[in-house]
Chains A and B, each alone.
Chain A
Amino acid sequence: MFKKKIYIENAVRKLRFNSDEMTQQQLAELVGVSRQTVVAIEKYKYTPSLDLAFKIALAFDREIQEVFFINK
């Protein structure tokens, strides 16, 4: 069952807009990455490390599973 490939999606874009329309640059500066990395995460082209995922969740003051989830 766990050998099947999983697709991790996220609600970063939605949460960004809900947080006073935070820009990608602002989020990048908050979590200490480049704007390109935030763009790649939002487009599901890059899955962040656990460390960065927690930092993003903390930046939005949410639980990690509210930001990153598996598309079943």
Chain B
Amino acid sequence: MVYFTFKRIKLGLMNIKIRNTLGEITGASIAMIWMAYNLTEASKMTIESVSKVLAQGIGISIILIIALTIALNILSSIITGQYEEDIDDERDKIFELYALQVSSAIFGISLVITLVLLGWFNLTIISALIAITFSGFIASIVSLFLKVYLYR
């Protein structure tokens, strides 16, 4: 009970940026897990069905991120009893830039690795497609964790 109350207070006191970023991390992670679960038999699947799963995964992540952000903010407002405005100032823009740099670097490196593997090790197009989509998700999650670290 004490632990639950502590958690409630923590969620209420957390700053809006951390809350939104945690919502984004959770949404992206759930979508990634869903895609991984649906792609366990990827080697036997056609490129059309793999593309469909990846497109659905991206869609799910977008919907989940929006839904989780709204839900977390409503929950926080109920706990604290006040509305917190999401203001983007110059410090936020610097953090956004750091996160963008990190995610671009990770995505760029993984794209080059995928292309190298595609040429040298005869990686299939399906595997390359999955690797590129997942690297995009991983790059996004790492950059979001960096944002949480900067906003802490």
The contact size tier of chain B is under 10
CB distance from A26 to the nearest CB of B (A): 14
B17 nearest CB neighbor, chain A only: A36
The contact size tier of chain A is 10 to 19
B86 nearest CB neighbor, chain A only: A34
B91 contacts A46, C-beta separation under 8 Å: yes
A48 contacts B15, C-beta separation under 8 Å: no
22 A-B pairs within 8 Å (CB atoms) are namely A32-B89, A33-B87, A33-B89, A33-B90, A33-B91, A34-B17, A34-B87, A34-B89, A34-B92, A36-B17, A36-B91, A36-B151, A37-B89, A37-B90, A37-B91, A40-B91, A46-B91, A48-B90, A49-B90, A51-B90, A52-B89, A52-B90
